[in-house]
Chain A
């Protein structure tokens, strides 16, 4: 599961603003606290053409007008810039070069064997797509979440490439060097099919989080139902008390009716009539409440549970065609008294693609079961312990 969001600090705000404005053709002159931005007439942007002053940070500009803007994470100008940039080129293509910075597998890195050199020989180009998905998990309670996830899928095999996702996220956070991008080459039909696979993968990736929110929301709903039940029980109790009081008053009046003189009898009869009506009404309400209670307040329960129900919305926001190389890497390994070169399947941005087994016991080499000895083939920790 790869969280693709970026923390928005002041320095990131400044780097992004500068990069974006320059990439669309604006000139940015930086000084300590104020930047002057010149926007040419002929470029496609919501920012009006001409000169603008950007004031860094949150100090209130003393001469704020529509040409003087504040630049900080929550400033209206920066938010506008993000919206515009996000929608500007949601799709594109970039390449991940493999010659420099070869990723050495963890089963070597974590062990005692040294790497003297590594050389990558690309044999063929491969293509993948990387999609950024917004996953909105909506519910009434505070457990609502919005996540951004990246998923990489190989264009030919449609397999998931988690390592490429990582490389993609790292590459696109390099603020200083601008990675060249171009238009997407894949056909729309291919993309549609790959997008389908990516959608399935993203649901798999966030399923754990969805389950968690699902349970939290269910518990919150349950607590609310319980609270409602208690309230109603309390109300029933109050009404029962009231009903008992009324009933006892009616009994007293019965007494008066049986024993009193004419006037008091008439008065008592009148009162009894009123009280009886009230009593019956109360009993009806009570019966209704008791019935609801005995049935477990089905309507109210449904209403509460409906309100707490989860709506998960998955929206693809950007799509990047990523070109990467596949080939082989020769890794030169040395320890104190031996030297060996091994050749492994490798992809730029995805690392070593082969699974290597210990030549003694046949167990797979992993970050925990590292390479320990190279003198007689490749031997793992388990085989070199004794």
Chain B
């Protein structure tokens, strides 16, 4: 490769005096063979076996061959500095979990920093704890004090680069750095890039499904953070690998050879994973006149209150979500506002909403839920169904209702201890029946023994929806999965479902695919939930609202197409090198 000067090289032949001395030693004790073996063993890699694997609980994590291979190569063949770039959904987190577990076992992990996008931090924490028994503190935990105070930290990259923490993060010598969604640092002019560049660490594992976001320079930037100098200078890299019209690659084989030293990329088709089918059944129901009245009253209240005071956004958003979940959930929040927090500005309006709640005798969704579980009782092994709701009050009411109908029920929420949670899942597996869970059911739980899931209400964050589904529809699920979505007609839920989720084919996407769609969208700063809420309260008419949601769907679809294109481009570069005509 031209464009740079070769450094000096000196070859020294060391003396053989000691060796020749030993030749004259005629007294031999027949240990020459052992000397040869000892010299060969000294030169060998000190045991490159995964010694921690046998400690893993097989019920918590099923390791796949490609994951073990990737973790092995990253740790032993790439000297602990690797870019893990599997296609989406192949378990890059598992690979890192294995690596961290092994390092923990070998005691080479005194300080570990995992940087992730904000929305994935807690999920990382749960997965590492539940699958690998590794305890990390997350910057969103109450107990989190500072980047100095703990040794095993999971933090959002933006928190780490914030003015408050940056200096502490940079002062410390980290043993291990893990960077999730590494394509976030593709741009060398950003604070994120700068932070990673300045961090001190011994081992680093970067994860991304799309190492190239826009152009080959992205790859140069990410790889150069991990292995400075592997690609030489930016200019030389460009001259050597990209032809002048910037569209085709040249010297592809060498690019791949060099990437092989630092990057691991598994493709779905190369693995033996067999994903079962997923059937989505969205059921929308007409609310009763009383429910409709209540929905209207709450929506009007939310709109009015928000126009007066935007500081109340969170609680107003909560009310808007609760009204489609269950009247009882709504009631609890309103009562709290009225009586505990002495809300006075809208007391009358809230009191009248309470009256409307009290008038409701039939809760449509709960009645219809009985149809689904009844069907499951007749057709599915041990009638196992998981029902998800966002609210504890809704959960309790469903549990009572189902129990009164004679169903075996199990409750799962964030208030249980870890061991209680284990027990609940175990009971559900053994006794069957219905598990009613809040979103506290974390990613790490293994629920593949169940294949029917009901979304009694729908989170406005598509990642949440997919995470729910991902708990049953994952590697290891042997049957087709059925997902029932329940929504009331002409409510925000119907809009979210029909206009947004179905438009982007949400229910057929994997977490990884979604995250690449959403992370692009959220790079602008606003969250998906906020967008929905803003559109809801800002619309002046039904038509406006429909248009607003359609516009959002168009954005989403664009992001999806971009994400698809990107995936295609990446596979072109890394696997087939079939990106147009070769100039070689």
Question: Which residues of A does B touch, CB under 8 Å?
Answer: 4-10, 12-13, 16, 19-20, 23-24, 58, 72-74, 81-94, 132, 134, 139, 141-142, 146-148, 172-173, 178-184, 186, 188, 191-192, 195, 199, 203, 210, 214-224, 226, 305-306, 308-320
Contact = CB atoms under 8 A, between A and B. Distances in A.
Contact of B32 (A5, A91, A203): A91
Given A82-B42, A86-B42, A132-B40, 17 more contacts: A4-B40, A8-B41, A8-B46, A9-B49, A13-B47, A20-B34, A23-B33, A85-B37, A91-B19, A91-B22, A92-B33, A186-B23, A218-B4, A221-B7, A314-B11, A314-B12, A320-B36
Contacts of A311: 9-10, 12
Interface in B6-35: 6-14, 16, 18-20, 22-35
Among A88, A91, A320, find the residue whose CB has the most chain B CB atoms closer than 10 A. A91
B551 interface: no
B228 to A, nearest CB: 6
Nearest to B4: A222
B200 to A, nearest CB: 15
B35 to A, nearest CB: 5
Given A182-B30, A218-B7, A223 B20 contact: no
Interface stretch (B67-75, B231-239, B290-298, B558-566): B231-239
A74 B3 CA distance: 43
For chain B, give the interface size range. 35 or more
B8 A309 contact: yes
A92 B28 contact: yes
9 contacts: A19-B37, A91-B22, A139-B7, A183-B25, A188-B24, A199-B13, A223-B232, A305-B5, A310-B10
Contacts of A90: 18-19, 22, 32, 35, 39
B41 A12 contact: yes
Given A188-B20, A226-B233, A318-B19, A214 B7 contact: yes
B44 A220 contact: no
Given A134-B43, A183-B25, A310-B9, A23 B34 contact: yes
Nearest to B261: A216
A24 B20 contact: no
A23 B11 CA distance: 37
A88 B8 CA distance: 37
B232 A219 contact: yes
A19 B34 contact: yes
A85 B38 contact: yes
A222 B47 contact: no
B135 interface: no
Nearest to B257: A212
B48 interface: yes
Contact of B233 (A81, A139, A181, A223): A223
Among A181, A203, A308, A311, find the residue whose CB has the most chain B CB atoms closer than 10 A. A181
Nearest to A198: B16
Contacts of B3: 222
B224 interface: yes
B222 to A, nearest CB: 15
Contact of A219 (B24, B49, B229): B229
Interface of B: 1, 3-14, 16, 18-20, 22-49, 51, 79, 81, 224, 227-236
A309 B10 contact: yes
A215 B6 contact: yes
Among B25, B32, B47, find the residue whose CB has the most chain A CB atoms closer than 10 A. B32
A3 B79 CA distance: 19
A220 B32 contact: no
A179 to B, nearest CB: 6
Contact of A172 (B22, B33, B49, B224): B33
Given A214-B7, A226-B233, A311-B10, A181 B41 contact: no
A25 B12 CA distance: 39
Contact of A142 (B10, B31, B79): B79
A8 B39 CA distance: 12
A182 B3 CA distance: 55
B31 A10 contact: no
A214 B6 contact: yes
Contacts of A72: 47
A180 B41 CA distance: 20
Contacts of A8: 41, 44-47
B228 A220 contact: yes
B9 A195 contact: no
A53 B3 CA distance: 60
Nearest to B233: A226
B229 A216 contact: yes
A313 B15 CA distance: 10
A12 B16 CA distance: 29
Contacts of A180: 30
Nearest to B28: A183
Given A88-B31, A178-B33, A183-B28, A82 B41 contact: yes
Among A72, A83, A180, A318, find the residue whose CB has the most chain B CB atoms closer than 10 A. A318
A311 B14 CA distance: 12
Contacts of B11: 203, 210, 312-314
- The 4 lowest CB-CB distance pairs between A and B, nearest first, are A92-B32, A220-B229, A148-B43, A85-B38
Given A74-B47, A82-B42, A218 B33 contact: no
Given A220-B228, A223-B229, A89 B35 contact: yes
B29 A89 contact: yes
Given A24-B31, A85-B31, A90-B19, A16 B229 contact: no
A86 B232 contact: no
Contact of B44 (A5, A20, A214): A5
Nearest to A219: B232
B231 A219 contact: yes
Contacts of B16: 195, 316, 319
Nearest to B228: A223
B33 A7 contact: no
A85 B35 contact: yes
A13 to B, nearest CB: 8
Contacts of B33: 23, 92, 94, 172, 178-179, 181
Given A5-B45, A82-B41, A82-B42, A305 B7 contact: yes
A181 B28 contact: yes
A232 B228 CA distance: 19
A313 B14 contact: yes
A19 B41 CA distance: 14
Contacts of A226: 233-235
Contacts of B41: 5-6, 8, 12, 16, 82
Nearest to B1: A215
Contacts of A179: 33
A131 to B, nearest CB: 8
A217 B43 contact: no
B8 A24 contact: no
Contacts of A308: 7
A226 B49 CA distance: 39
A139 B228 CA distance: 14
B312 to A, nearest CB: 47
A246 B121 CA distance: 49
B221 to A, nearest CB: 13
Contacts of A313: 11-12, 14
Contact of B39 (A10, A173, A306, A317): A317
A191 B45 CA distance: 31
B14 A318 contact: no
A107 B46 CA distance: 38
B229 A141 contact: yes
